Every structure is written in C-alpha cells, then in structure tokens.
A and B are shown apart, each in its own frame.
Chain A
Amino acid sequence: MDAPGISPHLLVSEVADMFMDETHGKLLSLPVLDDGRPVGVISRARMQQVLFRQYGRELFGKKPVTEIMNAAPVVIESDTALNEASKTVTERLKFPVTEDFIITEGGRYVGMGAVMHLLNAMEAQLAKQTQDLAAAYKELKASQLQLIQSEKMASLGQMVAGVAHEINTPLGYVKNNIEMLEMQSEGARELIAACLGLADTLTSPSATEADLQARLDTLQALRGTADVAEPADLIKLFADTRFGVDQISELVMNLKDFSRLDRAAADDVDLNECLDSAVLLSRNVLKSRVEVVRQYGALPRISCMPSQLNQVFLNMLTNAAQAIEGPGRILLKTEAEEGWLKVTVQDTGKGIPADVLPRIFDPFFTTKPVGQGTGLGLSISYQIVQQHGGDIRVTSQPGKGTRFTVRLPLAATQPAAPEAA
C-alpha cells in the first residue's frame, strides 16, 4: 500500500491536512521517514486524539510531528515469511485496528502494510495449504492403494512360486504317464491288429491251417516283444493320472479365486471354505512339517469380500508357518457367537516378543529378512478386517506360540468397495 513518507520536520497541522486529503482517505497511518528510513508512524487515530482536544490544533499544530508520533512502529522486512510477519504484527502492533505497520527493504521504507492485507494473505495461504493437503491426502490414498496392491502382488508372487512347484509335481507324472501310454500304444495297436487278424482267419471259411499258423506266430512274436503295461499297472496309471489332473484343477481354481481383486462382495460366503482354500494354497510353506488341525464350527454364511478375507487368512497361515521352526501345529478354529464370527489361527511357533507385539500391525514393520516380507501383510490384513467392520486381536507367548483372532460381524456389513482394484 502506497503511503507518502513524511519528514520528521513536518508540523502536526501539515500532517493533519495530509490525512484530510482524499487521496489518503484509506490510510490509517503515515510513516515518518528520515532519509528513507522509518523513525516512527503517525496514525489517523492519534492525530484525531490530539486535535480533538480543546485547543488541540493550537497547542500542537506548530509542533513537529515527531512529538506525537509512535516512535516504535512495527517494521517488517519485505522478505519476512508470512507467518512470522503476522506473529510480529499481532505481538507488537498496539492498535491493530487503527494503526498500520511499515514495510522495509534493507531497512528502507517501501510501503505500509495493513492488518487486513495480512489477514487476506494468510487466508490465501491457508487456502493453498488446504489445497496442498488435500492433494497430498489424495496422493497418499492412491499410494496406499498401490501399496496394498503391491503387497498383494508380493504375497501372490511368493504363493505362485510355491504353487508352481505344487502344480509341476502332478504335471510331471501326468505328462510322464501320458508319454508312456503313447509309447506303449503302438505295441498295443499292433497286438490288437494281430488279434483281429487271427479272429478273421478263424472265422474265414477259406482260411488254411498254414494261414492260421502264420497268424498265431505273429501274435506270439508280438506278445513277446510288445512293451505293454500289465492291466493292474494300467489301472493304477490311469488312477494316478486322473488324481494328478484333479489336483491341478483344484489348485488352479483356488488361485483364480485369490487373484481376482475386483470381485464384488458376495453375500453367501462360508468362512470355513475360505480357510480351506487358504490352507491349500499355503500347503507349500506348510508341507508335512506343520500339522493343520481344523476345529470348524457351524457358521452362517456372511456377506463379505471373499478374495480379501482369503488374503488375510493366507497371510496369517504363512506367518504361522514361518514362525514354526521344525515340526509344529497350527490350530484353525471357527465359531459363531453373539452376532460375531470368530476365526482363530493359533500356532506353536516361536512367539512374538512383548516389545515387538504392539508394532506388528504397523505398515512396513517386519522382522523377516529382506526379500521375505514387505512388512505390509498384517497392516493390510488389519485394514481389510476393519473395512468389514471387524477386528483382529493377538496374544503371544514367546517360545510357545501366537494366537490371532479375527472377529467379523454377523450382520451384513457391506465392506467399502475399493476405489481401485
């Protein structure tokens, strides 16, 4: 705000005239400058106070303005940060409604500042900050979704590697069996052809004894050389092959359920089935080292996001299996009580130390070696369960094991749909 600086030698009456001048109508105060440097400020209010006295103009009119000015004005350097400036102004400005502050650059006067301006600037800054905050929040939310996604990918990747092994084993013997059958089928076809030839000769009225002998010789020779599995072996071979194919189908079906992030909430989910599916997919980490004991209660079907809850259970099973060094046991217990479904995953692993326990749900907190855990598994599990209106509780005894309890409300709590899949 432009305000003419006044010389310290100006008289009070001259300054009074300046205030009455319409061009300065908006100014609350005028700076008093000595060689461009502020030495004081004279406000309209102070001037009025002086002149409204009886004989005010007569008494003070001829005196220099310095006698009535505020000799300790608030001076703000122009490059002062807004919040610092406002702090100084509110602390030091004695009459914020009647007085302005002086703005300097390198100590030299450049203009007057009104409290209103400061307020406006603060408001603008606040609005900008709010906007920034909103943007940051949005970004945070997006990256959180991304994190959830990458944790899902990491656990999926780990699982897929394991499942690949699980699939390659049945695939191995299924392929081998088929190739063996293929190799043998040639001999079998020749044998069948020889049998049919013999039958034809037997039933042909024109066949001679020599024809019959030739047919028989061929058959006998083939019988000696053809590499055809015994019937008992064949039955086993087919049974194994079918078993292998079924096993592969089962694994693939479970994988499909897991990988579909976009699956809508289903309202008839059996948590016992979810648990079975998670056990199947974590079989690779469980192997026969860890015994899984299931104590399933009769559960009503609930409305939830099965693929998300599968992720929670898989995470807990993997953690439990990793906590168990050598042979051990995982107890899976489900029960329905007073409006809640309870799923308990209890292991006989090494347990969680008391100082670590409060942090296990923190994002990025992990005690696993680099590459083995993202530190997001439990934090995401927690979020998923929370979105379902439930909670996770944990108790642990170092050296004895850990128990995770997931509680989900029976009443249909529609989980919030993810904003991105």
Chain B
Amino acid sequence: MNERASILLVDDEERVLRSLEMLFRGRFRVFTTTDGHEAVDIARRDRIHVVVSDQRMPTITGVEVLRKVREVSPNTMRLLLTGYSDLQAIVDSVNDGEIFRYLSKPWSAKEIMNTVTQAAQIAVSLEQGVAGDAGGAPGGVLVIDEDPTVVEMVKAICGKEREVRSSADLDEAFALLAAHDIAVVVCDIRLRGRDISAAVKALKETKPMVMTIVQTQLQDVETLRSLINHGHIYRFLPKPARRGLLEMSLEAASRRHQSMKAAPQLANRYQVEKNESAPVAALSTKLLGYLDRMRQGKSA
C-alpha cells in the first residue's frame, strides 16, 4: 500500500478510541467518532477502507451503523467490536451488516492489527475492481440438508432458472461441489446428528466465491461468531425455513456470486480467518481429497 488506507473507529467510550487510534495511527489514516450517525457521514464524505464499530451505543446500534455505512460506501470492510454477545445482534450483523469479522472485547492488539490490516488490503483491492454482472448462466444451488421440505422449498424458489442439487451426505455434497458450477450452498450446521460447521468453514476457505446460506435451529453465540470469522457465511436464517426469507437470501446470494465472477477480486471480501484449531482434521479423508483437488483447481 503506497497511500495509507483509512480506517474509521466508532465507540461511545472515547478511551477505546484513544487506545485504538494509538495502535493504528502508525499504519493507517485513522478517523474516530463517539457518534454512530457521524460515522455514517464520515463514510459518505471520506474514502474509508475499514470501519470498526462497537455494538451497544446510546443512540444507534453498531449493526445499524454498519448497515448504513454499507449503503453509502459498499466497498468499506465492516467489523463489529463488542463486549456483549447478543445473539440477535450477531445474526443482524451477518444478514444486514454483511460484516467481515466479529471481534470481541477485550481484544488482542496483535490480532486486531492483523485483522484490520487484512481488511484494509482487501478494501484497497476492491477499489481497483469494477462490480458488475458476469452475465451467462447463473450457477447452481446445492442444498446440504436432510430435511426434504428444505430441498423442496429451494427447488420451488429456483424453478427452472437455476439448477438445484441436494445431498444429505457430506462426502457426496463435496463431490457435487467439485463437479458442478455451484453459486450458492444452502445448509444446516447439523447433518444427521453431526456438527458439520468445520466443513462449512472449509468450504469457504477453498471456494471463496460460493455463497453460504446457513439455516439452522441452533442458536449459539459462539458457533455463530466462529461461522462468521472462519466460515464467512453470507446469511444466517432460522429454522423452520421461511420461504420469503429464503427466497430473498437466495436472490441476493446469486447476484453476489455473479458480480464476483465478473470481478474475482471481490471474492477477497470473503477471505476467512485461518482456522488454527485445525478442525479439518475432523473431516473424512475422502472429503480432504476433494478439498485438495479444489484447492489445486483454484491455483491452476
């Protein structure tokens, strides 16, 4: 980066702002404000690469700030930094704020520096690309869910325009993913009684352009936080599935996939945090084979 990237910090506690500003000012142009509404104005006025917002503020929530920033400056990478894990806030931050990372207070100086630096690099690369529609046939949809009503619902929504494949078997699902042009994956994080969130995360690591819509009954703050940071899920929807919600999410995911095909650097936005706990070890060897092949396919 020749020119320093700009970051905007939003928190109602000015000591947080002072502390973070001191941390970042050596590397970035830093804007700070205690007022979420002002933050939106700053993002509208100045070119902001990364915004980091607190969630609980007196006159506006962080999710609201990020949603508005997204409207006025769609290329700005959005991060939520919060000390209180309110499930609804996290769900909203995925669905409305389309956030890049969910950070918790207290944070680690090194980690936040790495995350913000990475976000800034992505934002700079986004500036060089032009978003658009790649045209051509829309990619297919893959449903990984044992519930036949979900498969039926997705088929009904997609009609004849988009091909819908489904599987309730992880190995088979990944084989389908490797063999076909898949734009959107609709899945639960539990499949036949097993937790498959590791696979959901691995999916994004290998195929960043595939948009993941997670539909689940599970409402766990920690799981969701990890799905955002490691799996970069595109939408998080409750079960039982609601058609209207799913339809809107599928449309948005398909559009996003198309524009990424047109400008592949957009996929950078969905870079995931490297999974240090190595949950990949929990995946089957067969699955690892597919992952390897997909990785090679990507680099070739």
CA of A165 to CA of B13, assembled, Å = 12
Known: A161-B84, A172-B83. A237 touches B26 (CB 8 A): no
Residue pair A179, B108 in contact (C-beta under 8 Å)? yes
A236 at the B interface (CB under 8 A): yes
Known: A161-B84, A179-B108, A183-B109. A172 touches B26 (CB 8 A): no
Residue pair A164, B84 in contact (C-beta under 8 Å)? yes
8 Å CB interface, A149-182 against B: 161-162, 164-177, 179-180
B15 at the A interface (CB under 8 A): yes
Q: Which of A164, A168, A173, A179 gathers most chain B CB within 10 Å? A: A173
Using Cβ atoms and an 8 Å threshold, which residues of chain A touch B109?
A: 175-176, 179-180, 183
Other 19 A-B pairs with CB < 8 A, given A165-B84, A171-B105, A175-B106 = A164-B83, A165-B82, A168-B105, A169-B13, A170-B13, A171-B83, A172-B83, A173-B18, A173-B19, A175-B109, A176-B23, A176-B107, A176-B109, A180-B23, A180-B109, A227-B26, A229-B22, A237-B18, A244-B15
CA of A409 to CA of B110, assembled, Å = 57
Residue pair B108, A289 in contact (C-beta under 8 Å)? no
Residue pair B15, A173 in contact (C-beta under 8 Å)? yes
Name the one of A169, A179, A287 contacting B58, with C-beta atoms under 8 angstroms: A287
Using Cβ atoms and an 8 Å threshold, which residues of chain B touch A288?
A: 12, 58
Chain B nearest CB: distance from A226 CB in Å? Answer: 12
Residue pair A172, B58 in contact (C-beta under 8 Å)? no
Using Cβ atoms and an 8 Å threshold, which residues of chain A touch B110?
A: 179
B165 at the A interface (CB under 8 A): no
CA of A174 to CA of B13, assembled, Å = 12
A2 at the B interface (CB under 8 A): no
Show 11 residue pairs from A and B whose CB-CB distance is below 8 angstroms, ordered by the A residue: A164-B84, A168-B84, A168-B106, A169-B83, A173-B20, A177-B19, A229-B22, A237-B18, A240-B19, A287-B56, A287-B58
B283 at the A interface (CB under 8 A): no
A233 at the B interface (CB under 8 A): yes
B16 at the A interface (CB under 8 A): yes
Using Cβ atoms and an 8 Å threshold, which residues of chain A touch B58?
A: 287-289
Mostly, the A contact residues are helix
- A-B pairs with CB below 8 Å: how many? 79
Name the one of B16, B20, B22 contacting A169, with C-beta atoms under 8 angstroms: B16
A243 at the B interface (CB under 8 A): yes
Using Cβ atoms and an 8 Å threshold, which residues of chain A touch B83?
A: 164-169, 171-172
Residue pair A176, B84 in contact (C-beta under 8 Å)? no
Using Cβ atoms and an 8 Å threshold, which residues of chain A touch B59?
A: 289
Name the one of A165, A180, A183 contacting B19, with C-beta atoms under 8 angstroms: A180
Residue pair B108, A165 in contact (C-beta under 8 Å)? no
Chain A nearest CB: distance from B184 CB in Å? Answer: 33
Residue pair A180, B84 in contact (C-beta under 8 Å)? no
CA of A166 to CA of B18, assembled, Å = 18
**Considering only CB atoms, which chain B residue lies closest to A165 in the complex?**
B84
**How many residues on B have C-beta within 8 angstroms of the other chain's C-beta atoms?**
27
8 Å CB interface, B16-33 against A: 16, 18-20, 22-23, 26
How does the 8 Å CB contact mask read for B152-196 relative to A, with 1 for contact and 0 for none? 000000000000000000000000000000000000000000000
**Considering only CB atoms, which chain B residue lies closest to A247 in the complex?**
B15
Using Cβ atoms and an 8 Å threshold, which residues of chain B touch A173?
A: 13, 15-16, 18-20
Residue pair B22, A237 in contact (C-beta under 8 Å)? yes
Residue pair B106, A171 in contact (C-beta under 8 Å)? yes
8 Å CB interface, B83-127 against A: 83-84, 104-110, 112
Known: A170-B15, A173-B15, A240-B15. A233 touches B108 (CB 8 A): no
Using Cβ atoms and an 8 Å threshold, which residues of chain B touch A227?
A: 26
Residue pair A175, B107 in contact (C-beta under 8 Å)? yes
8 Å CB interface, A26-50 against B: none
**Considering only CB atoms, which chain B residue lies closest to A244 in the complex?**
B15
Chain A nearest CB: distance from B92 CB in Å? Answer: 17
8 Å CB interface, A216-261 against B: 227, 229, 233, 236-237, 240, 243-244
**Considering only CB atoms, which chain A residue lies closest to B86 in the complex?**
A161
Known: A180-B22, A233-B22. A172 touches B16 (CB 8 A): yes
Nearest first, the 3 closest Cβ-Cβ pairs linking A and B are A168-B83, A165-B84, A179-B109
CA of A288 to CA of B56, assembled, Å = 11
Chain B nearest CB: distance from A194 CB in Å? Answer: 21
Using Cβ atoms and an 8 Å threshold, which residues of chain B touch A289?
A: 58-59
CA of A282 to CA of B171, assembled, Å = 51
**Considering only CB atoms, which chain B residue lies closest to A239 in the complex?**
B15
Residue pair A240, B18 in contact (C-beta under 8 Å)? yes
CA of A173 to CA of B26, assembled, Å = 18
Using Cβ atoms and an 8 Å threshold, which residues of chain B touch A170?
A: 13, 15
**Considering only CB atoms, which chain B residue lies closest to A162 in the complex?**
B84
Using Cβ atoms and an 8 Å threshold, which residues of chain A touch B81?
A: 172
CA of A233 to CA of B19, assembled, Å = 10
Using Cβ atoms and an 8 Å threshold, which residues of chain A touch B56?
A: 165, 287
Using Cβ atoms and an 8 Å threshold, which residues of chain B touch A183?
A: 109
Chain A nearest CB: distance from B222 CB in Å? Answer: 14
**Considering only CB atoms, which chain A residue lies closest to B26 in the complex?**
A227
Name the one of A162, A172, A237, A243 contacting B107, with C-beta atoms under 8 angstroms: A172
Chain A nearest CB: distance from B219 CB in Å? Answer: 12
Residue pair A172, B22 in contact (C-beta under 8 Å)? no
Using Cβ atoms and an 8 Å threshold, which residues of chain B touch A229?
A: 22
Using Cβ atoms and an 8 Å threshold, which residues of chain B touch A169?
A: 11, 13, 16, 54, 83, 105
CA of A401 to CA of B19, assembled, Å = 41
8 Å CB interface, A74-90 against B: none
CA of A287 to CA of B56, assembled, Å = 9
CA of A183 to CA of B108, assembled, Å = 12
Known: A161-B84, A169-B83. A176 touches B26 (CB 8 A): no
8 Å CB interface, B238-296 against A: none
Using Cβ atoms and an 8 Å threshold, which residues of chain B touch A172?
A: 16, 19, 81, 83, 105-107
Residue pair B23, A236 in contact (C-beta under 8 Å)? no
Name the one of B12, B20, B82, B104 contacting A176, with C-beta atoms under 8 angstroms: B20
Chain A nearest CB: distance from B238 CB in Å? Answer: 16
How does the 8 Å CB contact mask read for B52-95 relative to A, with 1 for contact and 0 for none? 00101011000000000000000000000111100000000000
CA of A213 to CA of B83, assembled, Å = 52
How does the 8 Å CB contact mask read for A391-409 relative to B, with 1 for contact and 0 for none? 0000000000000000000
Using Cβ atoms and an 8 Å threshold, which residues of chain A touch B105?
A: 168-169, 171-172
8 Å CB interface, A270-296 against B: 287-289
**Considering only CB atoms, which chain B residue lies closest to A234 in the complex?**
B22
Residue pair A236, B18 in contact (C-beta under 8 Å)? yes
